[in-house]
C-alpha cells in the first residue's frame, strides 16, 4: 500500500496526541522511532497490537526507541484507549488523516466481502536521523514487538 520503503526519508509529520500535545518528526531526532498505524482504537486487533508493544515497552526504551501510535480516532477516543490499557506511549489523533496520508497507509480494504477505504495496519521504524529502516506491513498483532526488536 505505502510507497515508502527502507532507506527513504520519513515524512516530516506533525499532529496532536490524546492529551492535545504536539508531536513532530523533529522531536525524535537522536532516537529511534516506531510509528505504528492502526485502524481503530479499542478494537480487538488494535488492542492486541498496542498491548504487546506496551508489555515490551522497557525493551524498546533500553534500545533507545520511542513509540507513537496513530489512527484517525478523536483525541477523546485515543485518551480512553490509552487510559483503559495504560499505554506508556502517545497516540496521535489524526482525524484529518494528514499523517496517515503522508505515510501512504490509507486506501481500499476488504472485510467480510465489503470494500471500503481505511487505514492499513503498518509500522515504520525510523532511525535517529529520520531515515526509515524497516516497514512492516504484515503485522502480527500479538507478537509485534518481536517483529520490530529482532
Hey, which residues are catalytic here? 46
Contacts of 27 (CB under 8 A, 6+ apart): none
Contact (CB, 8 A) for 90 and 68: yes
CA 103/CA 2 separation, integer angstroms: 7
CA 122/CA 104 separation, integer angstroms: 10
C-alpha torsion angle, residues 35, 39, 44, 45 (rounded to 10): -50
Amino acid at each position: 500500500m505505502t510507497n515508502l520503503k527502507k532507506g527513504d526519508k520519513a515524512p516530516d509529520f506533525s499532529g496532536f496526541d490524546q492529551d492535545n500535545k504536539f508531536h513532530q518528526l523533529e522531536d525524535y531526532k537522536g532516537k529511534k522511532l516506531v510509528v505504528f498505524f492502526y485502524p481503530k482504537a479499542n478494537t480487538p486487533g488494535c488492542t492486541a497490537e498496542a498491548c504487546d508493544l506496551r508489555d515490551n515497552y522497557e525493551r524498546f526504551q533500553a534500545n533507545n526507541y520511542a513509540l507513537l501510535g496513530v489512527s484517525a480516532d478523536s483525541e477523546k477516543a485515543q485518551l480512553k484507549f490509552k487510559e483503559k490499557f495504560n499505554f506508556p506511549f502517545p497516540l496521535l489523533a489524526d482525524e484529518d488523516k494528514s499523517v496517515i496520508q503522508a505515510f501512504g497507509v490509507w486506501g481500499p480494504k476488504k472485510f467480510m466481502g465489503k470494500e471500503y477505504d481505511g487505514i492499513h495496519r503498518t509500522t515504520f521504524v525510523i532511525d535517529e536521523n529520520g531515515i526509515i529502516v524497516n516497514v512492516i506491513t504484515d503485522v502480527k498483532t500479538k507478537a509485534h514487538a518481536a517483529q520490530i526488536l529482532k
